[in-house]
Chains A and B, each alone.
Chain A
Amino acid sequence: AQSVTQLDSQVPVFEEAPVELRCNYSSSVSVYLFWYVQYPNQGLQLLLKYLSGSTLVKGINGFEAEFNKSQTSFHLRKPSVHISDTAEYFCAVSDEGNQFYFGTGTSLTVIP
């Protein structure tokens, strides 16, 4: 079975500073990896995904993530955050059977 761990439940960061949101997973099979963002009272929006190919994935809003198979990680990064990036971020892993497993989420707060 797969599982996802988001190590930080809350991450405060000053505006224009870089940020990294950590995600580790466990799986015995090949996986697909995703990051989603959720703004208050809204559904989840896909930020980026890794299915295959290049391990460095670029997504929307200036975010990127790197798939590290040896460390079973898929950390999300942004070099300079904006106030509008304040939201809840979820890491997810999917196996080849399309079953999704979500992390518990990381609340990113950008401080002006």
Chain B
Amino acid sequence: GAVVSQHPSWVICKSGTSVKIECRSLDFQATTMFWYRQFPKQSLMLMATSNEGSKATYEQGVEKDKFLINHASLTLSTLTVTSAHPEDSSFYICSAIREGATQYFGPGTRLTVL
């Protein structure tokens, strides 16, 4: 099956710093990737749709300047959490669309902001 990787798997940072999370499709090209946020024992919340070569589409209530998304190539999308604060601590999951309109998910990145 399709493989999507994320790096890092877990990051701890100080409040006020920026953190970059990478999402890669390893064996296929993905023109569209999605970024989700998941709080403990809750469902996934779509943050934004990342489109290769164009600006990301953000969901209502998601701060564009806070969560910077760059989809620089057909296999890589990055999410940068700028000036992170403790309330940004969460589990961030990316996914990529492959044929058949199927989303394949990365393993997730746990962000802890101290």
Measured CB to CB, the residues of A under 8 A from B are 32, 34, 36, 41-46, 49, 51, 90, 92, 94, 96, 98, 100, 102-105, 107
Measured CB to CB, the residues of B under 8 A from A are 1, 4, 6, 32, 34, 41-44, 46, 91, 93, 95, 97, 100-108, 110
Chain A residues, CB < 8 A from B44: 44, 90, 102
The answer to whether B43 touches A42, judged by C-beta atoms less than 8 angstroms apart, is no
A30, chain B: closest CB distance, angstroms: 11
The answer to whether B43 touches A43, judged by C-beta atoms less than 8 angstroms apart, is no
Interface residues of chain A: helix, strand, loop or mixed (majority): strand
Q: How many A-B residue pairs have CB under 8 A?
A: 53
Interface residues of chain B: helix, strand, loop or mixed (majority): strand
Asked whether A104 and B42 contact (CB < 8 A) given A42-B108, A43-B107, A43-B108, the answer is yes
Looking at A42, A43, A94, A98, which has the most chain B CB atoms within 10 Å of its CB?
Answer: A43
User: In the assembly, what is the distance between CA of A98 and CA of B4, in Å?
Assistant: 18
The answer to whether B46 touches A100, judged by C-beta atoms less than 8 angstroms apart, is yes
The answer to whether B108 touches A36, judged by C-beta atoms less than 8 angstroms apart, is no
Chain B residues, CB < 8 A from A51: 100-102
B107 closest partner in A (C-beta): A43
Chain B residues, CB < 8 A from A94: 101, 103
The answer to whether A44 touches B105, judged by C-beta atoms less than 8 angstroms apart, is yes
The answer to whether A46 touches B104, judged by C-beta atoms less than 8 angstroms apart, is yes
The answer to whether B107 touches A100, judged by C-beta atoms less than 8 angstroms apart, is no
Chain A residues, CB < 8 A from B1: 46
User: In the assembly, what is the distance between CA of A43 and CA of B44, in Å?
Assistant: 10
User: In the assembly, what is the distance between CA of A94 and CA of B107, in Å?
Assistant: 21
